[in-house]
Amino acid sequence: MSLSVKHLLGIKELQPADIQTIFRTADNFKQVLQRPIKKVPTLRDTTIANIFFENSTRTRISFELAEKRLSADVVNFSASGSSVSKGETLIDTVNNILAMKVDMVVMRHSASGAPWFLSQHVDASIINAGDGVNEHPTQALLDSFSMKEELIKKGYKGDLKGKRVAIIGDIMHSRVALSNIFCLKKLGAEVMVSGPPTLIPKHIHDLGVKVEYNVKKALMWCDIANVLRIQLERQNKPLFSTLREYALFYGINKQMLDGLQKDIIIMHPGPINRGVEISSDVADSEQSIILDQVENGVAIRMAVIYLLSGKRDLEA
Amino acid sequence: MKTLLDHNQLNITLQRLAHQLIENHLHFENTALIGIQPRGVLLSDRIATLVKKITKQKNIDYGKLDITFYRDDLHTNELHVPRKTDIEFSIEGRNVVLIDDVLHTGRTIRSAMDALIDFGRPKSVELLVLIDRRFSRELPVQPDYIGHTVDTIMTQKVKVYWQEQDKKDEVVLID
């Protein structure tokens, strides 16, 4: 039992069987996390560097906890206050860290493709914790894992095949959206993206997803709505007039959900802009599984790290 | 290939092991049985059923333990598929009997003891195995209850078949 890849750069490169293996393993780690001693000695001989060139709270804490629950040694690095500001290149930075006998690298970078570039130049396994507007694979995995889990709780088979998932909001700047689309399609779900035309990339239907500019219609269509954050920091030019206008036309509130006459599952990868893409009463409602997503994040990341740290050439 | 225990012999051995457990633990008030995933559980299912039947006790604590995350061969062998750990009771201060089908190098039992201790501090831990491959131990592990002892060399394999999964009860030695 291993993954077909050496690095986790994106969901795009994964086989559907890899995703199932990760889910099965995460199930077991989730069980470990519910014990009084939430820790296993599996990776006590492994050192992992978390290299974050971009801000993060959730993902970084989640990765760090996952590593510590597996008994790995952890070093943290963030771009601010490091030699990066002195002009060191990415490869030099990482090679210097690897020279200190680090086995695995978890990296977030603002440039799309940075983890791929790195994987071509270093031996250690790379886990992409988000690269620019490209992919955020562990987020997509924990999203699909949480969907499965919630469906089982609701009495369905834990199968996403044929389930309708709407991804709503800033699709253009979202690596979560792209990874989610790849992941959901590989698991057989139907995917729709919805939001203002300026925030939906032109040729996105080539990925096999439906496009709907009316959020209300998207909600009526779907079983699960994954609401994304408006990424103001990635917008160089204004793509909608004001946040208030966005909230008015594309924000999801309780009234809309109550008008649907069915219970859809509400998700959000965080951080939430309360009152913009999603109102507080929705984010905190019974239908929302936002905090389950965060909880599952640790188990999913433990699974990915465990599965990538298998066979190693001990001579090296 | 040589048959070590056929259907009848295997079931007589299981009866004896169950009686030996009862001899030492009588009413099982402070004793818990724990099978090791995946193949040890097939044995422990049988043993637990037999013990319950013979003692007419319904509430004997019985759990299953997966040791995948405690193995010491993570980087040398293929990764193992983790199974469910299912221990619904406290093992603190209890007498625990670990159950596995074949005892070989002793490494599985080492891992199992590490895993077990993460659930609490048992008063004592005993080991029950169906087949003891003596002379091939790599760690100082000795079973307390033995179904059948065999002398084997490293290249040989002992395989235990169970009705529930393999449609027959049999133990064979494969060269």
- The interface predicted TM-score of the complex, written ipTM, equals 0.81
pLDDT, average across residues A237-259? 88
Is the preceding peptide bond at A271 cis, omega within 30 degrees of 0? yes
pLDDT of the residue at A232: 75
Chain A residues lying within 8 Å of B82, measured CB to CB: 24-25, 28
B75 and A32: CB-CB below 8 Å?
no
Structural domain range at position A195 = 137-290
Q: Is residue A272 part of a domain?
A: yes
Contacts of A36 in chain B (CB under 8 A): 119-120
* Residue A215 domain flag: yes
Among chain B residues, the shortest Cα distance to A70 is held by B69
Q: Write out the two tokens for A243.
A: 């946040």
In this complex, the residue of A25, A41, A310 whose CB is nearest that of residue B114 is A41
Shared-domain flag, residues A20 and A78? yes
Q: Is B66 on the interface with A (CB under 8 A)?
A: yes
H/E segment holding residue A225: strand A224-227
Buried-state track A268-290, b at ≥16 Cβ within 10 A, e below 16:
bbbebbeebbbbeebbeeeebbb
Say whether pLDDT at A315 is over 50. Answer: no
Contact between B83 and A28 using a beta-carbon 8 Å cutoff? yes
CB neighbour list of residue A16: distance below 8 Å, 6 or more residues apart: A186, A187
- Does some domain include residue A1? no
- DSSP, collapsed to helix, strand or coil, labels residue A206 as helix
B8-152 CATH pick, 3.40.50.1700, 3.40.710.10, 3.40.50.2020, 3.10.180.10: 3.40.50.2020
**Cα-Cα-Cα-Cα dihedral of A84, A90, A92, A97, to 10°?**
80
Helices (H) and strands (E) in chain A, counts: 11, 9
Query: What pLDDT, on the 0 to 100 scale, is given for residue A186?
Result: 97
- How many Å lie between the alpha carbon of A215 and the closest alpha carbon of chain B? 41
Q: What is the CATH number of the domain that holds A75?
A: 3.40.50.1370
Residue B148 sits at the chain A interface (C-beta within 8 Å): no
The answer to whether residues A125 and A160 belong to one domain is no
A6 falls within a domain? no
Q: Which amino acid is at A31?
A: Q
pLDDT in tens, A189-211: 999 999 999 999 999 999 999 99
Residues B128, B17 contacting (CB under 8 angstroms): yes
Token pair of A39 as six digits: 């820790």
Same domain as A131, residue A223 = no
Q: Is B88 on the interface with A (CB under 8 A)?
A: no
Please give the pLDDT value at position B14.
Answer: 95
Is the same domain home to A222 and A148?
Answer: yes
**Average of per-residue pLDDT across A245-259:** 91
A42·B80 Cβ contact <8 A: no
A41 contacts in chain B (CB < 8 Å): 69-70, 114
Q: Cα separations (Å) of A66 from A283, A289, A302, B81? A: 25, 20, 5, 19
pLDDT at site A311: 60
Closest-CA residue to A49 (of A79, A85, A68, A73): A73
Same domain, A150 and A274: yes
Q: How far apart (Å, rounded) are the C-alpha atoms in residues A105 and A53?
A: 13
Do A28 and B82 make contact, defined as CB atoms within 8 angstroms?
yes
Q: Does residue A2 surpass a pLDDT of 90?
A: no
Distance between CA atoms of residues B143 and B166, nearest Å: 26
The pLDDT value given to residue A35? 87
Same domain membership, residue A64 and residue A180: no
Residue ranges in A4-113 assigned as alpha helix (H): 16-32, 58-69, 90-99
Rg (CA), chain B: 16
User: H or E segment at B8?
Assistant: helix B7-25
- Residue A282 domain flag: yes
* Percentage, residues of chain A above pLDDT 70: 96
Q: What DSSP element (H or E) covers A49?
A: strand A47-52
Which stretches of chain B score pLDDT less than 50? Answer: none
* Residue A9 belongs to some domain of the structure: no
- The verdict on a CB contact (< 8 Å) between A311 and B76 is yes
- Let me know whether A255 and A276 are in one domain: yes
pLDDT band, very low/low/confident/very high, at A123 (cuts 50, 70, 90): confident
Q: What DSSP element (H or E) covers B21?
A: helix B7-25
Residue A92, pLDDT score? 87
Residues A127 and A148 in one domain: no
Distances (CA, A) of A64 to A19, A301, B116: 22, 9, 25
